Amino acid sequence: MADAGGRLLLPQEIIRRKRDGEVLSAVEIDDFIDGVVSGAVSDAQLGAFAMAALLNGLDRAETVELTRAMTRSGATLDWSGLPGPTVDKHSTGGVGDTVSLLLAPALAACGAFVPMIAGRGLGHTGGTIDKLEAIPGYRTRPDLGVLRRVVREAGCAIVGQSAEIAPADRRLYAARDVTGTVESLPLITASILSKKLAAGLAGLVMDVKCGSGAFMTGIDEARALARSLIDVASGAGLPTVALITDMDQPLAAVAGNALETLHAIEILAGRRSDPRLLEATAALGGEALALGGLCASAGEGAARIRAALSSGAAADRFARMAAALGGPSDLVERPRVHLAAAPATLPVVPMRRGVVAGVDTRALGLAVVSLGGGRTRAEDEVDPAVGLEALAGIGEEVGPDRPLAVVHARDRATGERAVETVRAAYRVTEAGGAAERRPIVLERLS
């Protein structure tokens, strides 16, 4: 096939043009994405395209067209018959980011409907779908009929991409994870929004992470991504608000799939608290409720989210969702019976007593990957049991009686290597020293 200018639309020619910094036409982008879905574009070509896009960028028009092409590559959902708005949240990825497991059921308890199409881990960050796959029997890729039923009955369904939803993104997502191209702003934008547009949402809240554990480490980079997401989403008719949130330390006190799922369930059940995680959840949920017209302001919405979490209403929605998608019916009551536990646990004792003054959060995420809790190749299996627990936060006193973390490993040798990585990721100063703790929400953009 050739475009209007007579150029052959071979995948390698499209890659070459982007490699050389040229602007791709809508026809070229559409043809390339068609090839991604049909299999005409190989994995090697997909990785080369992602690298060319990372190095030379895509302009706004290219990003919009890539997003539209990826959305059109599969089915789109229609929720017009529901008695409430369809809203969602998406995070750009971090360490210990367990918000989705709390927020989706809390939004449902407040009258919203949440068809959340989530992703797997990328690079050093954890993935919501990997966390849910730690639940025995939980189906993360139901057919669209099951998805529609669960959303109507439970109010929320957190699932991965089915074969019908944005299939082009599923291949590109996997390629980015293993080719060092995760940080490409246009590819992040198109990946996120193609799934959200296909989900048929009425409102979207973006959680753009910023800090040492985020893909966008600096505030200017985070603003640029937030602006890109808002502009492309709004241009496609999806009202969107973005919060830039802190990822200079893990959001929760745990990192790892079964550990984070257990952590979320214990919070939902009222058996545990995590102030930073709850603050982020309430802020994002408040924005979503306001976008959906279920409250007058984000502040009012945040209060409603907190009430849904503390009352047990969100826990009920989570239990209904998990059971409807094949999980155990008593998951909320007895999570430790069902979630895998690692056989080896090792404390990470600091070299000296003091106060945590800084954390290389990315290094902590990579420690989880090294334990088997993430992927270095697209085909890698993930060990749900491994990870880090009791992570010390900035400003906390640590010492022999309060370790920096506890490593959960498949065997002692692997665990000891992770202990050294985790210890090196922390900066500890003398007790009484200053430790700068940033607020959870750094900025709001709309």
Q: Is residue 81 part of a domain?
A: no
The strands making up 405-409's β-sheet, listed across from edge to edge, are: 344-348, 405-409, 387-389
The amino acid sitting at 302 is A
Higher pLDDT, 379 or 135: 135
179 is catalytic: no
Of residues 191, 194, 212, 414, which has the active-site annotation? 191
Q: Catalytic pick from 148, 196, 263, 375? A: 196
Instruction: Give the pLDDT mean for 83-110.
Output: 96
* Cα–Cα distance, 328 to 135 (Å, whole number): 8
Residue of 18, 68, 72, 89 marked catalytic: 89
Please check whether residue 291 is in contact with residue 205, taking contact to mean a CB–CB distance below 8 angstroms: yes
**Catalytic annotation, pick one of 88, 246, 248, 383:** 88
pLDDT band at residue 45 under the 50/70/90 scheme: very high
Instruction: Render pLDDT for 137-154 as a digit per residue (tens, 0 to 9).
Output: 999 999 999 999 999 999
Residues 265 and 350 in one domain: no
Q: Which residue would you say has higher pLDDT here, 183 or 307?
A: 307
Examine residue 79 and state whether it is found in any structural domain, yes or no. no
Active site residue 317: no
- Which of the residues 73, 125, 128, 414 is marked catalytic? 128
Confidence of residue 5 (pLDDT cuts 50, 70, 90): low
Beta bridge partner(s), residue 209:
245
Name the percent of the chain in helix, strand, coil, to the closest 5. 45, 15, 40
Say yes or no: 157 and 297 in one domain.
yes
Structure confidence at residue 6 (pLDDT): 52
How many helices (H) and strands (E) are present in the chain, helices listed first?
Answer: 17, 12
Q: What confidence tens digit (pLDDT) does each residue in 163-216 have?
A: 888 899 989 988 987 898 988 889 989 988 998 999 899 999 999 999 998 988
pLDDT tens track for 309-357: 999 999 999 999 999 999 999 999 999 999 999 999 999 999 999 999 9
Q: Is residue 310 part of a domain?
A: yes
Say if 440 falls within a structural domain.
no
Annotated active-site residue in 90, 124, 148, 317: 90
Report the first-to-last Cα separation within the chain, whole angstroms.
Answer: 41
100-134 tens-digit pLDDT: 999 999 999 999 999 998 878 777 887 899 999 99
Mean of pLDDT over the chain: 93
Across the range 398-420, mean pLDDT stands at 97
Q: Is residue 3 very low, low, confident or very high in pLDDT (cuts 50, 70, 90)? A: low
| CATH number for 198 | 3.40.1030.10
Looking at the fold, whether 145 and 266 belong to one and the same domain comes out as: yes
Q: What is the mean pLDDT of residues 270-286?
A: 97
Q: Is 196 a catalytic residue?
A: yes
Which carries the bigger pLDDT value, residue 170 or residue 386? Answer: 386
User: Residue 377: how many CB atoms within 10 A of its CB?
Assistant: 8
Across 11-20, 39-48, 354-363, 373-382, least confident range: 373-382
Residue 2 binned pLDDT confidence (cut-offs 50, 70, 90) = low
Helices within 381-434 (DSSP H only): 412-425
Regarding whether 52 and 185 lie in a shared domain, the answer is no
124 is an active site residue = no
Tokens of 226: 């937030």
Burial class (CB in 10 A: 0-12, 13-18, 19+), 279: middle
**156, 34: one domain:** no
User: Does the structure show a pLDDT above 90 at 50?
Assistant: yes
Q: Is residue 60 within a helix (H) or strand (E), and if so which, with residue range?
A: helix 60-72
Per the annotation, the verdict on 89 as an active-site residue is yes
pLDDT at residue 380 in the model: 77
Q: Is 406 helix (H, G, I), strand (E, B) or coil?
A: strand
**77 within a domain of the structure (yes/no):** no
- Assess whether 261 and 216 both reside in one domain: yes
Q: Given a cut of 70, is residue 7 above it in pLDDT? A: no
**Residue 90 is among the residues annotated as catalytic for this protein:** yes
Identified catalytic residue from 72, 148, 171, 176: 176
Instruction: Say yes or no: 211 and 318 in one domain.
Output: yes
Pair 115, 222 in one domain: yes
Q: Is 195 a catalytic residue?
A: yes
Q: Which of 195, 209, 306, 408 is catalytic?
A: 195
* 347: β partners: 406
**Domain-ending residue, one of 308, 336, 364:** 336
Catalytic residue among 25, 71, 91, 194: 91
Whole-angstrom distance, CA of residue 421 vs CA of residue 416: 9
User: Would you place residue 431 in the very low, low, confident or very high pLDDT band (cuts 50, 70, 90)?
Assistant: confident
Q: Which domain does 217 fall in, by range? A: 87-336
pLDDT tens digits along 56-73: 999 988 998 999 999 999
Q: What is the CATH number of the domain that holds 16?
A: 1.20.970.10
* Structural domain ending residue among the three candidates 336, 362, 396: 336
**What CA–CA distance (Å, rounded) separates 329 from 321?**
10
Please state, in angstroms and rounded to a whole number, the distance separating the CA atoms of residues 313 and 108: 9
